[in-house]
A and B are shown apart, each in its own frame.
Chain A
Amino acid sequence: MKFAVGMVLIDAPHSALNMLGIDESLPERTVTRVKRLRKGGLSYPYVSPQAWRYWWRKTLSEHFGWTLSPLFREEKQVFTAANPIVFPDDDVFGYMRAFKKGNVNITVTRMSPLKNTPLISLFPDRSSITADEGYASRHEGDPVPYTQEFYSTVLKGAFSLDLDAVGRFTMVDKAGFKNLLNVGEIPKSLSEVKSEYEALISKAKEIKAEISEKELIMPKEIRKKRASETIKALRYIFGGAKQTQYLTDITPKFIIMAMFDGGINPFISDIVYEERGEIKFDSEALISRILEFNDILNPKKLFIGKDKGFMRGWEDELKKVRDSLDKNGIKVVIASVGDAIEKFAKEIEAYYG
């Protein structure tokens, strides 16, 4: 088991990346609101996890030439092809294809090896959200007033990629583990599905995938490519609502990454937090979190990327992290965001050999 995990900060100086629409519970029905999570007396803007995933998938298609799994409909149902051999996004992002014909249930599901949190604002809404009063007007007729909210904040997000699961498909009769069907179990009456699967398996044989009764493992070159490109995409990630008006760069301005022999992400804690209108980096918290899981940190490396212009005051704190972890035999690579991601991607590639 091996997990590539990380935490990102996205600078959103004036943005409305993911909206709630009009809140019908409010008296004013002309306000387009941003999504919020409430905590105590405060609310925090956020971006849905599935919105971030959607940008991520799109970026893989446009920057890395991934052929995305098509959506198609069968008897009024919609699903992706559920073919992780041909479509890398089915592999990395998972799928569910519920299929039942007559009494035959041949549903396949794949848990997503890539998991991500929502992107959550570090600032509460009272110090980050503005309601912009606008008028739709072309100098003819009456202008139409409308209001839309947007925020100025820094968003935090975390992700985890299960490197063992990428390019490895199980055919076990257990919910979540039946990634593929066995050709033998598809009844003759479903000739279409059968021929689809025969094509899928012959394709797998053609590219020299390892096929046993219980699993199908893609060649390591393909697994390596899919896993490392998934991480590299963060460097180029683009998307989000209202880009015409707010033009937010959603590539991370700060990123911490490491590999662990266990399904944990120590960065889902308060390493970065807000205090009296300022965003703080807690080097002690990061150091203690890493040392807590030092035994499963493998390789003994931590990758930190920071944009020069972002949080200029953090340099000293980062040096503290480097010096302190160095004493414990952990190498800390501090670089620009792009370089840190590239170097981390190299480690991922090295894992597949």
Chain B
Amino acid sequence: MIRVKIKSWTASFRYPTFQSGYQPTLPVPPLSTIQGILSAARGEVVSFTEIPFVGYVFKSGGRGVDLERIYALGKTETDVIKREVLFDNTLYLYLPDEWENYFRRPRYQLLLGRSSDMATVESVEKVKLEEKTNVPVGGTIVPATSGLPGLVHALPVEFDYSTIPRRARMARPFTVLPFPRNNAQRKRQTYGGKLLYDSEINIGVWIYEGLHGKV
């Protein structure tokens, strides 16, 4: 498999339950954001059904709050809302080898969220991950059924782009696991089962295989 290292100065991932007012960001991207990045790289909408496996780890250096003027539907005056953004981010994608070409020459600009969250590919490497048991997971989302403790959210897996506006094709409950910052968190987020382990980043990688309809 390959590991694509993507970096960005800012990132933002829509928090599902907030509709207006304060817009927090999820600490890690949902799968639908990964679908968007893969689609931008390939130049056409990608579905996870056609990808044998995909995994990701996201790390963020910090965060901040931005103000944004919005024009709300059905309201004449403008509003200023607060939007949270993540700062200095790295996303590692674990993909089948054939994706190397797309990430060496992405068809569209890669974004980690909105259009200002421009990202760049720092490297594409072939990696061999070892399978291990009892490893910490983080910087990703795992199915709520994994038994790992964390914030559970119903998150979109994929979007259907054939309708305007796009619609979530499927949403499932996931446990959101930020990248562990200390040993206590690593311990808490340790998964008992078998998992691929990236020794360079020192984290277990949750791999989604044949995702569609099975999550």
A residues sitting closer than 8 Å to B (CB atoms) are 1, 3, 20-21, 35-40, 43-44, 46, 48-50, 73, 76-79, 94, 98, 105, 107, 109, 111-112, 115-118, 120, 158-160, 162, 173-176, 178, 261-269, 292-293, 295-296
Q: How far is the CA of A160 from the CA of B115 in the complex (A)?
A: 10
In contact, B9 and A268 (Cβ under 8 angstroms): yes
Point out the residues of chain B lying under 8 angstroms from A77, CB to CB. 71, 73-74
B116 beta carbon closer than 8 Å to chain A: yes
CB-based A-B contact count at 8 angstroms: 136
Q: How far is the CA of A176 from the CA of B164 in the complex (A)?
A: 8
In contact, B106 and A264 (Cβ under 8 angstroms): yes
**Contact check: which of A35, A43, A76 meets B66 at CB < 8 Å?**
A35
In contact, B65 and A20 (Cβ under 8 angstroms): yes
Point out the residues of chain A lying under 8 angstroms from B87, CB to CB. 37-39, 44
Across the interface, name the chain B residue whose C-beta is closest to A23.
Answer: B65
In contact, A176 and B161 (Cβ under 8 angstroms): yes
Q: A117-B116, A173-B162, A174-B45 are in contact. Are A261 and B66 (CB under 8 A)?
A: no
In contact, B118 and A158 (Cβ under 8 angstroms): yes
B residues sitting closer than 8 Å to A (CB atoms) are 7-10, 40-41, 43, 45, 61-69, 71, 73-76, 78, 85, 87-88, 104-111, 115-123, 159, 161-166
Q: A20-B67, A35-B64, A262-B104 are in contact. Are A268 and B119 (CB under 8 A)?
A: yes
In contact, A35 and B67 (Cβ under 8 angstroms): yes
Point out the residues of chain A lying under 8 angstroms from B104, CB to CB. 262, 293, 295-296
In contact, A158 and B9 (Cβ under 8 angstroms): yes
Beyond A3-B109, A105-B164, A117-B118, 11 extra complex contacts between A and B, CB < 8 Å? A44-B87, A78-B78, A94-B115, A98-B165, A107-B164, A174-B45, A175-B165, A176-B161, A263-B41, A269-B120, A295-B104
Q: How far is the CA of A49 from the CA of B67 in the complex (A)?
A: 10
**Contact check: which of B78, B117, B119, B123 meets A292 at CB < 8 Å?**
B123
Q: Tell me how far the C-beta of B99 lies from the nearest C-beta in chain A, rounded to whole angstroms.
A: 14
In contact, A263 and B9 (Cβ under 8 angstroms): no
In contact, B164 and A118 (Cβ under 8 angstroms): no
Point out the residues of chain B lying under 8 angstroms from A37, CB to CB. 10, 62-64, 85, 87
Point out the residues of chain B lying under 8 angstroms from A49, CB to CB. 10, 115-116
In contact, A112 and B115 (Cβ under 8 angstroms): yes
A-B contact pairs, 20 of them (CB 8 A): A35-B65, A37-B10, A38-B64, A38-B87, A39-B61, A40-B62, A50-B68, A76-B74, A76-B76, A94-B115, A98-B73, A107-B165, A109-B164, A112-B115, A115-B116, A173-B164, A263-B107, A264-B106, A265-B120, A295-B104
